[in-house]
Amino acid sequence: MAEHILESISLFLPEIALTVTLCVAIIADLILKERNQNVAYVVIAGLVITTIFVLRQTGLTETIFSDMVAVDPFAVFFKIVLAVSGFFIVFFSMKCRELDANKKRIGEYYMLIVAMMLGMFIMVGATNLLLMYLALELSSIASYILAGYTKRARDSAEASLKYVIYGAVSSGMLIYGVSILYGITGATDIYGVNAALQTGDFSPLALLTAGILIIAGFGYKVTVAPFHFWSPDVYEGAPITITAFLAVASKAAGFAMMIRFFKVSFIDTALLDTAGVWDIVEGFQWNIILAVMAVLTMTLGNLVAIWQNNIKRLLAYSSIAHAGYILMGLVVLTDQGIASMMLYFVMYLFMNFGAFYIAMLISNKLDTEDIEDYKGLGYRAPLVCVAMAVFLISLTGIPPTAGFIAKFYLFAAVISAGWYGLVLIAAINTVISLFYYVRIFRNMFLIEPEGDTSKIEFSLSSKILVFALLIPTIFFGVYFRDIVDLAQASVKMFGL
């Protein structure tokens, strides 16, 4: 037993490194006092160490702490995505003017970001229902506080209230669903749940109830309709750095947990074949429910986004729509679908962070989030606006950008599984999305600036960060073989 625990700890080093970073950040905050924006460097150092530990786990397929957590290529892939987004968010935060009003408490802010990352790291590896719930709560509770971080702003306070109410209700539904599932199967780890479900000795109605409640819990985290209500308000009210973090990292972790839960619990291991097509156990066709949710999510996200004037709210609806596209990968029940979801997250990270970062830079300089105020910005700040155009083109999914490759692989996976109707709806949605992305583009470039026409200068470090996001967005659109291979190799989960 002791040996097993020691061995487990050696495979749990990334999470331990994050925990240590969290503690050091608190202490550094106390010691540095007036200069506590330097806590950011402590967090960056901690993230570097964490990333090194994650990279050392590549190729492992193990389970640790008596089937509590899996360390497998799937988890490692998502941990890398999370770590990279963590770096970007810390860099964004150092540049964000919105946070300057609370300079005295900035140490806490970085500490909470690390807490959220710790929760998400455990989420992507958890194979036990209790641990999944705890990890989800850990990341949620930290994000409730972060959403209301700029305490003086009314919007921020309102965002955190809405977030905490929706979040708590969803987690209540999730744990109630888990309690029913536990009653049906008598197991708390998802392998045990799978083994019990394969005997077929349960009431389908009870399983359906449990499944829907669990989908509600996960659906809130990944903002799929009809559990998305919190996200536009929270995304608009929260500080923009946190909005970006919620839109990318939180969603990635939620999807990773959802994929692992559904794939492992409902797979029929008797019918498992090598081609990567899998079948689900009798009793509950949850992929039909997920397909309906995917269609609802993308259509609603895109249609409502058209009417938005606030850039943060627009990107919030756009990220809801993207959650709808991504969900299609899980519906088709193939490894190809899951690989394309993972690929999508890599591309989505760069293009969505890019759009949020440019929105933040413009808000820093002009103090506005209104798209109407973007008129003529293309002439005043050419570099930033051209970058924004590339990110928007990529979000739409037009070649030669990363977004096209992501959508191409996703749609291909859905087509090869025979869900033609779903792809058709997604393609129509892509066209709708072009409409509101082009609106930003038009305001920036095709309308002459009104009033102030002076050039807007950005600091060198801001420009470097723009390029750090812009280059991958274009690069992955042209050269994508390695990243596709990596995603396909990372589908492997422990026990399957």
Partner 1 sequence: MTYCIAQIPQWLAEPGLTHFLVISAILFSLGLLAVLTRRNVIMVLMGIELLLNSANINFIAFARYTTLALDAHLIALFVIILAAAEAAIALAIVLNIYQQFSTVNVDEVSTLRE
Sequence-separated (6 or more) residues with CB below 8 Å from residue 173? 213, 216, 217
Q: How far apart are CA 104 and CA 395, in angstroms?
A: 36
Window contacting partner 1 (CB under 8 A); options: 58-66, 179-187, 218-226, 388-396: 179-187
Residues 293-312 that bind partner 1 (CB under 8 A): 309
Q: Are strands 62-64 and 69-71 parallel, antiparallel or unpaired?
A: antiparallel
Helix, strand, coil share (%) of the chain residues, nearest 5: 80, 5, 20
Q: Is 196 in the site for partner 1 (CB under 8 A)?
A: no
Window contacting partner 1 (CB under 8 A); options: 232-240, 263-271, 277-285, 421-429: 232-240
Sequence-separated (6 or more) residues with CB below 8 Å from residue 382? none
* Residue 150: C-alpha distances to residues 74, 93, 160, 233 (Å): 35, 13, 10, 15
124: its two tokens: 């992507």
Q: Is 373 in the site for partner 1 (CB under 8 A)?
A: no
Q: Which helix (H) or strand (E) holds 436?
A: helix 420-445
Q: Is 67 in the site for partner 1 (CB under 8 A)?
A: no
Nearer to partner 1, 119 or 378 (CB): 119
Window contacting partner 1 (CB under 8 A); options: 151-159, 255-263, 410-418, 443-451: 151-159
Helix, strand, or coil (residue 480): coil
Q: Is 56 in the site for partner 1 (CB under 8 A)?
A: no
In whole angstroms, the minimum distance from the beta carbon of 396 to partner 1 comes to 24
Q: Look-up: residue for tokens 């156990």?
A: 281
Residue among 15, 29, 98, 233 that touches partner 1 (CB under 8 A): 233
Which among 381, 387, 352 has a CA at the least distance from the CA of 364? 381
Q: Is 386 in the site for partner 1 (CB under 8 A)?
A: no
Q: Is 164 in the site for partner 1 (CB under 8 A)?
A: yes
Window contacting partner 1 (CB under 8 A); options: 41-49, 141-149, 358-366, 455-463: 141-149
Residue among 51, 127, 171, 363 that touches partner 1 (CB under 8 A): 171
Identify any residues that bridge with 189 across adjacent strands, giving them in sequence order. 128
Nearer to partner 1, 48 or 165 (CB): 165
What residues make contact with partner 1 under the rule CB under 8 A? 130, 133-134, 137, 141, 144-145, 148, 151, 154-155, 157-161, 164-165, 168-169, 171-173, 175-176, 178-180, 182-183, 186, 188, 232-233, 236-237, 309
